[in-house]
Structure 1
Amino acid sequence: MSKKVVLPLTKSHNDIVDTNILLNLYEDMLLGRSFEDMCAQMYYRGKMFGFVHLYNGQEAVSTGIIKTLSAQDYVCSTYRDHVHALSKGVPPRLVMAELFGKETGCSRGRGGSMHVFSAQHNFLGGFAFIGEGIPVAIGSAFQSIYKKQVLHDYSDLSVTVCFFGDGTSNNGQFFECLNMAVLWKLPVIFVVENNQWAIGMAHNRSTSLPEIHKKAQAFGLPGVEIDGMDVLAVREAAQTAVQRAREGKGPTLIEALTYRFRGHSLADPDELRSNKEKEAWIARDPIKRFRNFLINNTQVEKSLIDNINVKVKSIIDEAIDFAIDSPEPQVKDLKRYLFVEDED
C-alpha cells in the first residue's frame, strides 16, 4: 500500500493552486522560520530557559499539513512544537510569551517551549517525551467517531494530525496506536517528520527498516513517502489523507523526508553531523525553494513576496515586545490551572 508522491515543485501548479493559497503557504513558512530565528537570539540573551528545540528546515511539513485542516480539526505535536502551533493559528505573541514564561503565554507561562497548548485552536500541545502525543491523538480521533456514532452528531468528522519524529517510530506507542486506529477506522493522520536524526543517532543506524512508511503495510493503512522539503508535495499528500479521514475511511501514515538545520536543541553543539550532509540539505531549503518557484513558475509578483517579508518581520517584532512587557506569573498562583475553574 506504500506509494511515492510526485514532487509538485518540478511542475507548474498555476491551474491547481490559486495565488492567495500560494502566498499564504509562503507566509506561514516564513513566519515559522523567522519566529525560530528570533527564539535562538532570545535564548542566547538569557530570555528563555531550559531546553528549546527549533524547527528550522522543516517548515514545509508543518505548513503543508496543517494548512489543509479546518478550525475544527486537531493537532498533536512534539517538543519541537512552536511552528506547529503557529500554523494552527495560535498567535505568535502568545507563543513567544509562553517561551518567556509569562502569564500571557498560551499555557500561562507554565508550559514553556515543550508544552505549548491552546484549547481554543484545538492544538493539543507539545510533549517532552517522544511518543507521548500518539495515544493522545488516538483519543482525540476517537471522540470524533464517538460523537457521530453515539451522540448522533452528524457534522463532518474532525480530523486529528499527530506529528512525531523518526526515532519515535521504533517505540511501542507507534505500533499499538497504528493498530488501534485501523481497527476503529479513526480519523487520524500520523506524520513522521523524518529529519534523519534522533537526537544524535542517525536514522539508518537505529531501525531495521529505514523506510518508515512501509511499516504501515503490517496494519493495513496507506503509507506515503513524500519530499518534506517541498510544501506542495506535502500539501498534496495531506489533502488526500484528510479527505480519507473525513469520509470515515480511516488513518494514513505520511513519512516526510526532511532535515533540521540546527542541532537537536539550542544546547546541542551539533558536532555529530557532517558539514557535507548539512550543506546538501540546506541547499534544498524549503522556503528558498518555494520562493524561487513562486517567482519563476507562477504569476506572483516579487513585490508581493517582499511585502510578506516586511509583514512577518513586523509580527515577530510585535511578539517580542509583547513577551517582554508581559507580567510574570505570581507565586500565589503556583497551583492555578491544575484543574478547571468555575466560570463564575
Structure 2
Amino acid sequence: MDQDLLYEAYRRMSRIRQFEETTKGLLLNGELYGAFHTSTGQEASIVGSCLALEESDYMVGTHRSHGHPIGKNANIRGLMAELMGRKDGVNQGKGGSMHLSDFSVGSLGETSIVGSGLPVATGAGLGSKMQQNGKVTLCFFGDGASNEGTFHESLNIASIWDLPVVYLCENNGYGELTEWRKVVASDSIAGRAVAYNMPGEIVDGQDFVAVYEAVTRAVQRARAGEGPSLVETRTYRYENHAVGLLNESYREASEIADWRENKDPLNLFRARAGELGLDTSILDTIDAEIAAEVESAVEYGRQSPEPDPEESFTHVFTEPVEIRR
C-alpha cells in the first residue's frame, strides 16, 4: 500500500482518538453538555472506510459520530466549537454532538435517531445516479440500526435501482446496552445482504488494511454502476454507550480490558509498521502534532462567541412567528 496513505491513515486515527479523549475530559469538567457518545476503539473501521472514498464522495454518520467527519478529513476546530455550542461550529453551535455535518468534505450529517441515516444515504445515492456525477455515498450505521425498518427499506430500494451506496455496519457488539446476538436472528449483519441481492462481507474492524481493502472493493463496484454493497466491520467501543451513563453491568470488565490491551486499532497498526514499511518515529511525530492540533482546537472553541438568542430562529424550515414581549 502507498506509504503516504498509510501515514495519513494513522494521522486520522490518532486525531479521532485524541479528539475524543480530550472532549470526554471537557464533558466531565462541565465545558460540554448533553449526551455524548464516543467511537473510541472504532478508529480503524472509520478511517479504513473513509479513505476508500474520493474527497468529493458523500458520507453519512450515526449518533456516535465525532469520528466519522474526522475520518472524512473535517477540520476539528469547527467540530470542537460545535461541541461547545459556539458560533464558529460547523453548524453554528446548533447541532452539537449527535448532529454534526460538514458539506465541505462531503459529510452530510448524522442524527440521534437510530437508523435515520440509511434513507438519507440512499437518497444521496439516488441523487448521484440521476445527476450522473460519479459520486459514491458511504453510510455508517450500527448493529442496532440493522433491526430498524429503514435498514431493510433502504437496502431493498438501493438494490432495485443499482444505487452507488456502500452500507457500512459498525458492529461494536452492543446496541446501547444489549448484546447484538440476543436481538439479531442471523449469524451476521452482512449475511442479510443476500435478501437484497448485493454482496455482503464481514471484516476485522480493528485492522485498517482489511477495512480499507474491503470498502475499496465496494466503492469501486458502486462507482462502476454495479450497485450497493453491505460491509460489516467487527469492532468495539471502549466507553459506555454514553459517557457518564452509570449502568455498565451488561458487559464484563475483562472483555473491555481484552479489547483495549489486545485489539486496539492504533496499537495493531503500530505493530505492523515494519511490515508496512513505516517508521515508528514518524508515527510518534504524528501523535505529537495531533496533540498540538487538538489543543489548538480547544482554545479555538473557547474563544468562539456563543450564538445570539435570535439565531434560534435561523436555519429553520419556516419563518418564525412574531414574538411579542
Under a length normalisation based on structure 1, what TM-score does the superposition of the two structures give? 0.90
Q: Aligned partners of 1:158, 1:330: CA distance in 2, in Å? A: 37
Output one character per residue of 1:79-125: Cα deviation in whole Å (capped at 9) or x when no partner.
11111011112100100000000000001100000000112222111
Corresponding residue number in structure 2 for 1:205: 182
1:35-184 maps to which residues of 2 (within 5 A)?
35-148=19-132, 155=133, 157-184=134-161
Query: 1:226 touches 1:257 (CA, 8 Å); kept in 2?
Result: yes
Corresponding residue number in structure 2 for 1:288: 267
User: What secondary structure, in the 3-state scheme, does the structure 2 residue paired with 1:114 have?
Assistant: coil
Q: Aligned partners of 2:282, 2:175: CA distance in 1, in Å? A: 38
Query: Are 1:272 and 2:250 counterparts?
Result: yes
Query: Are 1:219 and 2:196 counterparts?
Result: yes
Query: 2:62 touches 2:141 (CA, 8 Å); kept in 1?
Result: yes
Corresponding residue number in structure 1 for 2:232: 255
The offset of 1:299, in angstroms, is 2.9
User: What secondary structure, in the 3-state scheme, does the structure 2 residue paired with 1:115 have?
Assistant: coil
User: What secondary structure, in the 3-state scheme, does the structure 2 residue paired with 1:234 have?
Assistant: helix
User: What secondary structure, in the 3-state scheme, does the structure 2 residue paired with 1:323 have?
Assistant: helix
User: What secondary structure, in the 3-state scheme, does the structure 1 residue paired with 2:138 have?
Assistant: strand
Output one character per residue of 1:197-242: Cα deviation in whole Å (capped at 9) or x when no partner.
0010001111111311110001100000000010000000011001
Query: Are 1:321 and 2:321 counterparts?
Result: no
Q: Aligned partners of 2:161, 2:120: CA distance in 1, in Å? A: 15
Q: Aligned partners of 1:203, 1:301: CA distance in 2, in Å? A: 38
The offset of 1:340, in angstroms, is 10
Q: Aligned partners of 1:334, 1:68: CA distance in 2, in Å? A: 37
The offset of 1:68, in angstroms, is 1.4
Runs of 4+ in 1 over 3 A off after TM superposition: none
Corresponding residue number in structure 2 for 1:5: none
**Residue identity in the other structure for 1:293:** R
**Residue identity in the other structure for 2:28:** Y
The alignment covers a number of residue pairs equal to 317
Q: Aligned partners of 2:207, 2:136: CA distance in 1, in Å? A: 23
Q: Aligned partners of 1:179, 1:337: CA distance in 2, in Å? A: 33
Output one character per residue of 1:290-323: Cα deviation in whole Å (capped at 9) or x when no partner.
01111x3233222211110111101100100000
Corresponding residue number in structure 1 for 2:17: 33
Q: Aligned partners of 1:49, 1:145: CA distance in 2, in Å? A: 40
- Does 312-321 or 297-306 show the bigger shift? 297-306
**Would the alpha carbon gap of residues 68 and 161 (structure 1) be closer, same or farther in structure 2, given more than 3 Å must change?**
same
Output one character per residue of 1:217-275: Cα deviation in whole Å (capped at 9) or x when no partner.
01100000000010000000011001000000000000000000000011223332101
Q: Aligned partners of 1:299, 1:179: CA distance in 2, in Å? A: 42
Q: Aligned partners of 2:301, 2:318: CA distance in 1, in Å? A: 25
Query: 2:205 touches 2:234 (CA, 8 Å); kept in 1?
Result: yes
User: What secondary structure, in the 3-state scheme, does the structure 2 residue paired with 1:113 have?
Assistant: coil
Query: Are 1:301 and 2:285 counterparts?
Result: no
Output one character per residue of 1:153-193: Cα deviation in whole Å (capped at 9) or x when no partner.
xx5x1000111100111111111111100000000000000
User: What secondary structure, in the 3-state scheme, does the structure 2 residue paired with 1:306 have?
Assistant: helix
Q: Aligned partners of 1:340, 1:32: CA distance in 2, in Å? A: 36
Q: Aligned partners of 1:300, 1:193: CA distance in 2, in Å? A: 27
Corresponding residue number in structure 1 for 2:164: 187
**Residue identity in the other structure for 2:292:** S
Q: CA RMSD in A?
A: 1.3
**Residue identity in the other structure for 2:249:** E
Q: Aligned partners of 1:116, 1:182: CA distance in 2, in Å? A: 28
Structure 1 unaligned spans of 5+:
1-16, 149-154
**Would the alpha carbon gap of residues 230 and 137 (structure 1) be closer, same or farther in structure 2, given more than 3 Å must change?**
same
**Aligned to 1:335, which of 299, 313, 318?**
313
Q: Aligned partners of 2:180, 2:74: CA distance in 1, in Å? A: 31
Structure 2 unaligned spans of 5+:
320-325
**Residue identity in the other structure for 2:97:** S
